[in-house]
Amino acid sequence: MGLPKSFSALGPIMQLAWVPEDFDAALKHWTEVMGVGPFYLIEGIHLDGMKYRGQPTDAVFDLALAYWGDMQIELIRPRDEHPSIYRGEYGSTGNGLHHVCLLVDDIAGAYAACEAHGAEIVIEGSFGGKKVIYADPGAKNGRGGPGTLVEVLERSTEGPDLFAIIKAASENWDGSDPVRRFG
């Protein structure tokens, strides 16, 4: 397989993500106004081997995941002040889009695409044994702007399919129990 001609060649967007200023208000908006849910809250996440711009970081964050049809919606809440894409220049986007996510089988191809297209890898690490990177495709070429971060997540083929569980819960959701926790 040749080098992707663009980021879209890596695969379709499967997720839209926000880092709202008020996480609880955002959850309420998405569940009550937009009718999206239920959201599954995962707290205290720290990526294994997490690096921000090539340097180790101890950043911890919470996230809430739900589905709107086939599109995953993610809300993120930073838990500390450690360097990450959830604070500083990439921090809270208020009501604006923070990043999109692509799910891939070959993370090596994503690294190659970043290199070929001048995308800066801002965050990298692993979660559940699978690699994840967040790239800013506009960083090195001066074409950056809001919502330009692209998360590339390696598809998991082992264990329970967390995304499938969350998606199944969204089908015919009646509005009850809008925020749920795993465990």
All domains of the chain in start order, with CATH:
12-153+167-172 (3.10.180.10)
List pLDDT tens digits, range 139-164.
655 555 545 789 999 987 776 688 99
**3-class SS letters over the chain:** CCCCCCHHHHCCEEEEEECCCCHHHHHHHHHHHCCCCCEEEEEEECCEEEEECCEECCCCEEEEEEEECCEEEEEEEECCCCCCCCCHHHCCCCCCCCEEEEEECCHHHHHHHHHHCCCEEEEEEEECCEEEEEEECCCCCCCCCCCCEEEEEECCCCCCCHHHHHHHHHCCCCCCCCEEECC
pTM: 0.91
- Range of 6-10, 39-43, 102-106, 146-150 with top mean pLDDT: 39-43
List pLDDT tens digits, range 76-134.
999 999 999 988 777 766 668 889 999 998 888 889 888 887 888 999 999 888 999 99
List pLDDT tens digits, range 48-74.
999 999 999 999 999 999 999 999 999
